[in-house]
Amino acid sequence: MNKINHVAIIMDGNGRWGKKRKKGRNYGHLKGVNTVEKIVKASLKLKIPIITFYVFSTENWKRPKGEINFLFNLITLYFKKEIKNVVKNGIKINILGNTSSFSYSLKKILKDTLRKTKKNKKLIVNLALNYGSKNEIKDAFVKLKKNRSKITESQISKNLYTNKLPDPDILIRTGGQRRLSNFMLWQLAYSELYFLDKLWPDFNGNDLRKIIRNYRLIKRNFGTI
């Protein structure tokens, strides 16, 4: 039976979900946060050690400014309101990506959240924010060149944002698209990929359990026949 160490999720379909209900894209993002909470609770029950959410990509800066501000305000307000529960539930928050271009208030709330949760061990929740896998790999090579390190697979992995984490066993993408969208291109080389037509706000704990059950029973060949 396959062991679960790390689940990565591309949360696609929030905007379409909101528009289908004639309430706008931001309404979909708001409901998407509720789904994140449900999946985190399900992950705790399933004893999944690490879960990564693709929250905001480097390409997402092309979205309307109002939508971007709404997304960042959602993150800020969530951690202001829920930080005590996050700590109480033993959840450690990590950030994957470059946060240097974020506002002072967002950077401060993220920094405070990392500090307050750094000793928690029940579940690691990675938030990929201003994340792009091509930039991540490029930055790894820049570090290796600067340190005059030998270029090996191991050294590249050690210089990625995920350097202290195992690669994902599973990648889940909601929303009907069958692509990786510049997400963890290096880390997902041998992951099992699950693409769902269901939009992210409709995804739930039962969906996650079904995927976990399927994963535990499949034969993994890691590129071999």
Residues with active-site annotation: 12, 60
CA atoms within 13 A on the CB side of 210: 8
3-state class of 125 per DSSP? strand
54 near 188, Cβ under 8 Å? no
Cα distance between residue 141 and residue 160, in whole Å: 9
The strand ranges marked E within the chain are 6-10, 50-57, 91-96, 123-131, 170-173, 192-195
Cα distance between residue 211 and residue 188, in whole Å: 17
Cα distance between residue 5 and residue 207, in whole Å: 18
Nearest one of 212, 137, 135, 134 to 172, comparing CA atoms: 212
